Amino acid sequence: MRLRRAAFVFLVLILSLSVGVYATVNQLPVSAQDSAAITAYKVSGGANLSAPGSEAFWQSIPWATIPLSANVPNGGHTPAIDVKAAWNGSDVFVLLSWNATKPSNRMSSVFSLGGGPFGFPPIWPNTSSGTFVVAPPRSVEENVVKQYYVNSTYYSQDRVAMMWYLGGQTGTPDDCMVVGQSNGGALQYGGAANIWDFMTGATWNTTTSFLPQIGAQQVPLDKFYSWWNRNVTFTGVDYPAPPHGFALNLYTNATDLYEVGLGTGLFYNDVGTNVTNPYVVQAGAQMGTGSWTVEMVRQVGEPQGGAPYLVNVTPGNTYDVAFAAWQGYLGENAFIKSISTFQTLYISDVAPPSVVQPGQGLVGPLTPAEFVAILGFIVSVVALVAIGALTRKR
């Protein structure tokens, strides 16, 4: 009888170990695409844009490090950007982190149009005429400007952007991206994309102090942020700006760059004015001594009136996305920046993998494979104890 029991327990042990090992190695029912560079996991909870990256669900989502390089001469000062993504059933979240030599949220010149300070517009040293040109026209920037003037006291804001490819290409998305050519933000071969462009000295509502212009005292940026909130009389746009900040919604194709819904024409020609909310991509930021953390949030699906300019974020789909970062202190502005190639982002319907955090133990919900593996381990331990007890009785 004892031998029969021992044999039964031994079989249970072997079966449990086999199931656990199989689940661990093969990751049984997990539906995240292993081939995707970035996976947006399904999470619970919402964004905390006052403290980007502090949400509990981010702790169990791994970073994806995306290499960046120069798109034109004098760019490429940011070698890589770290990315995480998630969604909660109604909103998609993108968390970005990168190093900056001297983080800058110096004021954009955009507020000067509402009677605000001059800011720090890009200055182009025209060697042909021996003059400095403030905020050179787009046609000059695209075709002539190769560098901007900066020194220890005059430099522009930092920026970060995420591009969602909308299709229409001949060839691959990377064939469409213009890198090292004059129209650095546009695509070619019929491609189009939606860009989320966060500007630290213009679209961030923060109490962090910043310098509004040369010779001025530092003040909180939120003193001027209300400029976006129905205070620009010439736009006709009647949407409230988000409380923490936003990313400009841009559309690019083989012809040009466009701002979507904003109605100002300040940055680029406008499309979709008063048809779609220009502030649909909300954002928040944290400026460190040598780094930035930015979180961007937008509803899943397609924003009302957003077609064909805005990406339709749908669970279960894979998207081609690209990233760019600007370091104003090092002379990056407009088309001079650090940029990635296109990467795949998969909107997954599973929870993020659980991980062990020092001092916190297991963080994140268990995936089905992890649950089976742990259950198999527990049953194996019980079986070992039972065998030991039977052996001692004999």
pLDDT score, position 165: 92
> Count of residues for the chain?
394
Which band of pLDDT confidence, cut at 50, 70 and 90, is reported for residue 188? low
Closest CA to 183 of 241, 139, 136: 139
pLDDT score, position 358: 39
Q: What is the pLDDT of residues 72-110, one digit of tens each?
A: 889 999 999 999 999 999 999 999 999 999 999 999 998
Strands (E), 128-182: 131-134, 159-167
What is the b/e burial string over 93-123, where b = at least 16 CB atoms within 10 angstroms of the residue's CB? bbbbbbbbeebbbbbbbbbbeeebbebbbbb
pLDDT score, position 173: 74
Closest CA to 282 of 247, 249, 312: 247
Q: What is the pLDDT of residues 112-165, one digit of tens each?
A: 877 889 999 999 999 889 999 998 887 787 778 889 999 999 999 999 999 999
Average pLDDT, the chain: 81
CA distance readout (Å), 184 to 278, 374, 384? 23, 51, 65
Is the separation of the CB atoms in 249 and 154 below 8 Å? no
For residue 341 the two structure tokens come to 């190639």
pLDDT score, position 391: 53
127 exposed, middle or buried (CB, 10 Å; 0-12, 13-18, 19+)? Answer: exposed
Q: How many C-beta neighbours within 10 Å does residue 133 have? A: 18
Q: How many C-beta neighbours within 10 Å does residue 307 have? A: 12
Q: What is the pLDDT of residues 273-330, one digit of tens each?
A: 778 888 999 999 999 999 999 999 999 999 999 999 999 999 999 999 999 999 999 9
Is the separation of the CB atoms in 296 and 93 below 8 Å? yes
Q: What is the pLDDT of residues 201-211, one digit of tens each?
A: 999 999 999 89
pTM of the model: 0.82
